[in-house]
Amino acid sequence: MADYKVRFDSHPEPIQVPSGTLLVEVARQAGIEIQQPCGGQGRCGRCAVRVESGQVRRRSVLRLSKSDIDAGYALACQTVVEGDAAIVVPPPEAIQRRLTTDHTAPEAVIPEGYDALRSQSIRRVSIQLTPPTMDDQTDDWGRLCAAFRQATGLEQRNTSLDQIRQLGQILRSSDWHVALTFDTGKKGEARLIRVQPADEAADGPLCGLAIDIGTTTVTVWLVDLLTGRVMRQASEYNQQIARGEDVISRIIYAGKGDGATELREMVLRSINGLIGKSCERTKIAPDDIAKATVTGNSTMMHLLLGIPAESIRLEPFVTSINHVPQLTAADAGIAMHPDGIVDSLPGVASYVGADITAGVLASELRSSADLTLFIDVGTNGEIVLGSSEWLVTCACSAGPAFEGAGVVHGMRADTGAIEEVWIDERTHEPSCRVIGNVAPRGICGSGLISLVAEMFLTGILDKGGNINETLTTPRVRQGLHGVEYVVAWAAECEGEEDIVIARVDIDNLLRAKAAIYAGFDVLADSVGVPLETAEQVLIGGSFGKYINVEKAVHIGLLPDMPWERFHFLGNTSVKGAYWA
C-alpha cells in the first residue's frame, strides 16, 4: 500500500501514513486532538475537518450537507486518505457554531416585492389644513376629515375619544400642519391612529410588531413598515411558565379565582418587556408603533385576551373564538400606540391555532405544487399536509416531553441542558453537548430524542423501549423509577444528583412520538395519500431549531425519508405574523 503525506495547518511537518488511514488516526500521530463525542461512529459531526487539497474518501457524510462537502468538509472519523492531502482543523468552537447554525433557520428576510403601500394597511399622510376663521367655523374634526378625504379619497369614520381629545391642541400647536397615521381599513373607511405635528413626524419611524406567543417562549419582531425590514428580534420566556408548563395546566390555573387575570398580566409583561427593550435598542418610541399582528396557539390567544379557555381542554375541545376581531392596543394591553391596531391571525379549530395558520403562511405551503408535510412540534404537535391545491391539518397532544417537562431530569432548552448525546457502542459511555458548554443540569427535549435514539442504536434500548439490564455497565441500574441509564454522573454535573433517564421518561417520549406519528398517519390516511410521497417536510417551531432529524427519524418521531427533504424553517409562527 502506498504511503501518502498529509499536512495539517497547525503542524509544521507532514505526516506520512499508508493509504486508507482514517484522518483521526493521522491527526493523532501529529499530536492533534480531534473531538469524537460519538466515539468515531460518524454520527455527531463534531470531528469535521476541511480538506484543502488532495484525495480522501468519505465513508459517511451523515452529518454533512452538500454545501459542507462542496466546501471540503469531511468527518475525520469516517474519512480515509487516498493521496497526499492538506487538512485544516477548525477550532472546536467553529465546528459547534457551524452545527448550531445548521440547526437554525435563516434570518428574517424582507418578503419579496414588499411595498409599503401595497403590502400593508398603515399609512401616514401630511396635511396642511386651512385654519378656521369667523367665516369658516367648521369644527376641528370636520375640518380634518374633509382635508383627509381630499388627500386620500377615504372616509375617516372611526377613531378613539383620545384622538379627538388631543386634536384641538395638536392642530393649533402645529399651525394646522399635521401628519395623520391611519389604517386604510375596509370599504373605504379609514381608522385614524395618530395625529402629530407634521414636523415632528417628518421622516420619523412608522413601525409594526409581529408577536408570537408560545407556551414557553414569546417572540417579538419590531418591523419598519416603510421598508418592511425587521429592525429587531427579541425572545423571552413566557412568564406564564411559573403557573404551569403546558397549556392544560395553564387552562386549569386560569379557571381558578383571578388566575385568568394573573396569566394575562404575566404574558403582557413578557410581551411588553420585549417591546420596551426592542424600542430602547432601536431608539423607537412605543407611540411610533401603529400596528401589531399577534399569533400563538389557541390557548395562548385566549389567555392573552382574558377569554376563558376551559372549553379547549374539555371534550369536544372547542375554542371560544378562533379569529379575534381587530382590537386597539389599549384594549389588548400591548405597549405600543394605544390607538394602534392589533390584528390576530385566525386559528383553524380546537388546538390548531393561529400559530399554525401563521406557519402555513410563512412556509408558503399554499404556493407549493409539491405535496408537503409541515410540522410544528412543541407541547402540542401540529401537522399540516397538502399543497397549493388542498391542506389538511391536525393537532396531537404530545405532552411536555419535547419541551423537557414531565421528565425526571427534564428541563427547558436553556443553559445547562444536554441537547445532544452520543453513546459509544462498545463501552456504552455517553458524551454530551450541553447548551452554553457548562456542567449539565438536565436534559431538554432534543437531548431526550438524541439520547433515546443513541440508546436504541447502541443496543441499550430495544424496539419496545425496554432497557437491556444485562449490559455490564454501571450506567444501567435500578433506580427510584425502575431501570435507568445514567447520562451524567453527579461529579460532572452542576447539581448533586446523577442525571438519568428512567423507564418512565422513555415511556413518556414514546407516547409523545407515537401521538405525533399517529397524527401523520391519520392525516395521510384521511386524504388517502401515502406519507412517503411527501416531497418536502418543513419543520417549524423551536423544535425545529434544535432537533437532530436523523435521530428523530431513528426513534420514529419523524417519517423515514431522505435527509434532503427536511427543511428547518425556525419560528414560522412569528414569521407568519410578520408576513401578515
Residues that bind a second copy in the complex, under the rule CB under 8 A: 132-134, 136-142, 157-161, 164-165, 167-169, 172, 187, 305-308, 310-311, 315-325, 327, 331, 347, 349-350
Grid look-up 369667523 returns 134
**Nearest approach, Cβ of residue 233 and a second copy (Å):** 28
DSSP annotation of 525 reads H
Residue (140 or 419) nearer to a second copy, CB? 140
Q: What is the 3-state secondary structure (H, E, C) of 270-339?
A: HHHHHHHHHHHHHCCCHHHEEEEEEEECHHHHHHHCCCCCHHHHCCCCCCCCCCCCCEEHHHHCCCCCCC
Q: Rounded CA gap, 373 and 569, in Å?
A: 13
Residue (113 or 316) nearer to a second copy, CB? 316
Residue (319 or 508) nearer to a second copy, CB? 319
**Nearest approach, Cβ of residue 350 and a second copy (Å):** 5
Residue (39 or 347) nearer to a second copy, CB? 347
Q: Rounded CA gap, 310 and 307, in Å?
A: 9
**Residue 13 CB-density burial (10 A; 0-12 exposed, 13-18 middle, 19+ buried):** exposed
CB 577 within 8 A of CB 546: no
Q: Rounded CA gap, 316 and 326, in Å?
A: 27
Q: Rounded CA gap, 240 and 262, in Å?
A: 9
Grid look-up 441499550 returns 460
**Nearest approach, Cβ of residue 186 and a second copy (Å):** 9
Question: Pairing mode, if any, of strands 230-237 and 217-224?
Answer: antiparallel
Residue (272 or 311) nearer to a second copy, CB? 311
Residue (347 or 359) nearer to a second copy, CB? 347
**Nearest approach, Cβ of residue 417 and a second copy (Å):** 35
**Nearest approach, Cβ of residue 254 and a second copy (Å):** 11
Residue (235 or 319) nearer to a second copy, CB? 319
**Nearest approach, Cβ of residue 318 and a second copy (Å):** 4
Q: Rounded CA gap, 50 and 68, in Å?
A: 9
**Nearest approach, Cβ of residue 243 and a second copy (Å):** 19
CA distances from 475 to 431, 446, 478, 482, 488 (A): 13, 21, 10, 13, 9
**Nearest approach, Cβ of residue 399 and a second copy (Å):** 20
Q: What is the DSSP string of 120-171?
A: --EEEEEEEPPPPBTTB---HHHHHHHHHHHHHS-EEEE--HHHHHHHHHHH
Residue (319 or 379) nearer to a second copy, CB? 319
Residue (304 or 371) nearer to a second copy, CB? 304
**Nearest approach, Cβ of residue 439 and a second copy (Å):** 47
Nearest one of 384, 350, 366 to 541, comparing CA atoms: 384
Q: Rounded CA gap, 324 and 206, in Å?
A: 24
**Nearest approach, Cβ of residue 91 and a second copy (Å):** 53
CB 506 within 8 A of CB 485: no
Residue (228 or 333) nearer to a second copy, CB? 333
